[in-house]
């Protein structure tokens, strides 16, 4: 009897473009803020630790790609976002950012408490996100709208809460600044499986896909590389000069002495006919060489000096 096994269902997960924060000072600031929020939830709203959850890592979700199978997410990156992010990050320096304020949003199940931020020059809101949405999101999701940069801190279950203060959360954001120096593809795997379509507000294990990591331009590193190249060039020139001097010294040391010519003449074989022919041929050859050199010298003396005014400067300042 043959048994039929249905094909295994492909795993789907959440995929984002953003960054996972690893700076220790920034993590300490965010842990402190999260603790303050938890205390407020406990004493003002009587919400214990079972009434909210958070992700295990601090991250920013700048663009949500969707709840996708891995091959679909890979295709999305390869065909659209990979080129966009390479072009973007190689032309923009890493971003110095600061926190602005807390926000509270909601869906049918959760209140989401987030901490918004922006870079000092506001490139995220004015240049980067509009460009990525227009070129990478709108062709696939025409109705998606741009979300402001934020760090999602806590998800509070709405069950049993009759009132929640959304507009003014009365918590000051951290004052320390931080650098956003790369974008990456982030995979979010829900910790607890549930019926229905998983939500982006579920508690997730976040994982970076290192293949799709894009670092912003860093001027300091560029300068270090240029200085290293100049240093190597100077070292190579010094080594070349030293080697040339050594070669000249060795060549001078290897030159035959005049006594060698005298000894050679004394040791010439007694074949007068051969010597006579060879000497005649050498004499004719020397005369021809001397005539050629004299003619070239005469021509050089008679040729007019070059006029640089008629030459054109090339793209790097050399005369062509």
pLDDT, averaged across the chain:
75
Q: What percent of the chain has pLDDT over 90?
A: 47
What's the confidence (pLDDT) of residue 317? Answer: 33
Name residues whose C-beta falls within 8 Å of residue 29's C-beta, 6 or more positions apart in sequence.
174, 176
Q: What kind of architecture, by CATH, is found in domain 12-221?
A: Alpha-Beta Complex (3.90)
Residue 168, pLDDT > 90, answer no
Q: Is the pTM of this model over 0.85?
A: no
Q: How confident is the model at residue 169 (pLDDT cuts 50, 70, 90)?
A: low
More confident residue, 295 or 98: 98
The tally of CA atoms less than 13 A away on the side-chain side of residue 20 is 17
Task: Give the mean model confidence (pLDDT) for residues 146-166.
Answer: 86
Residue 187, pLDDT > 60, answer yes
Partnered with residue 146 across adjacent β-strands are: none
Query: pLDDT of 223-257, one tens digit each?
Result: 333 333 434 444 444 444 444 444 444 444 444 44
Residue 214, pLDDT > 60, answer yes
Q: How far is CA 16 from CA 63, 66, 265, in A?
A: 6, 7, 90
Q: How far is CA 288 from CA 1, 241, 278, 283, in A?
A: 103, 36, 15, 9
- The answer to which of 44-48, 87-91, 112-116 has the lowest mean pLDDT is 44-48
What's the confidence (pLDDT) of residue 293? Answer: 39
More confident residue, 27 or 247: 27
Query: pLDDT of 91-109, one tens digit each?
Result: 999 999 999 999 998 888 8
Task: Give the mean model confidence (pLDDT) for residues 272-276.
Answer: 41
Contact 64, 81 (CB under 8 A): no
Q: How far is CA 117 from CA 57, 156, 180, in A?
A: 17, 21, 11
Terminal C-alpha separation, the chain: 85
- Measured in whole angstroms, the distance separating CA 131 from the mean position of its chain's CA atoms is 19
What's the confidence (pLDDT) of residue 143? Answer: 94
More confident residue, 17 or 160: 17
Residue 205, pLDDT > 50, answer yes
What's the confidence (pLDDT) of residue 163? Answer: 76
Q: Where exactly are the structural domains of the chain?
A: 12-221
SS3 41: helix
More confident residue, 41 or 264: 41
What's the confidence (pLDDT) of residue 20? Answer: 96
Please give the DSSP secondary-structure letter assigned to residue 192.
S
């Amino acid at each position: 009897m043959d048994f039929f096994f249905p094909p295994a269902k492909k795993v789907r997960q959440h995929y984002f473009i953003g960054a996972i924060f690893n700076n220790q000072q920034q993590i300490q600031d965010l842990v402190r803020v999260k603790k303050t929020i938890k205390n407020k939830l406990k004493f003002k709203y009587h919400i214990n630790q079972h009434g909210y959850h958070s992700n295990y890592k601090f991250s920013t979700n700048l663009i949500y790609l969707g709840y996708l199978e891995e091959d679909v997410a890979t295709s999305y990156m390869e065909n659209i976002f990979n080129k966009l992010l390479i072009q973007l990050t190689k032309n923009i320096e890493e971003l110095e950012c600061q926190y602005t304020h807390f926000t509270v949003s909601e869906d049918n199940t959760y209140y989401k408490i987030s901490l918004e931020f922006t870079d000092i020059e506001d490139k995220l809101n004015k240049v980067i996100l509009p460009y990525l949405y227009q070129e990478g999101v709108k062709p696939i999701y025409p109705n998606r709208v741009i979300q402001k940069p934020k760090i999602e801190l806590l998800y509070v279950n709405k069950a049993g809460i009759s009132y929640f203060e959304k507009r003014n959360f009365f918590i000051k954001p951290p004052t320390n600044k931080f650098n956003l120096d790369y974008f990456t593809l982030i995979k979010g795997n829900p910790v607890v499986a549930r019926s229905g379509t998983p939500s982006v507000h579920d508690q997730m294990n976040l994982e970076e896909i290192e293949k799709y990591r894009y670092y912003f331009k860093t001027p300091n590193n560029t300068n270090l590389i240029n200085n290293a190249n100049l240093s190597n060039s100077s070292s190579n020139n010094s080594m070349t000069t030293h080697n040339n001097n050594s070669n000249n010294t060795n060549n001078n040391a290897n030159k035959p002495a005049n006594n060698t010519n005298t000894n050679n003449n004394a040791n010439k074989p007694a074949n007068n006919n051969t010597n006579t022919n060879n000497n005649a041929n050498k004499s004719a050859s020397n005369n021809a060489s001397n005539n050629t050199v004299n003619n070239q010298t005469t021509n050089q003396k008679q040729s007019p000096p070059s006029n640089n005014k008629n030459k054109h400067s090339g793209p790097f300042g050399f005369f062509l």
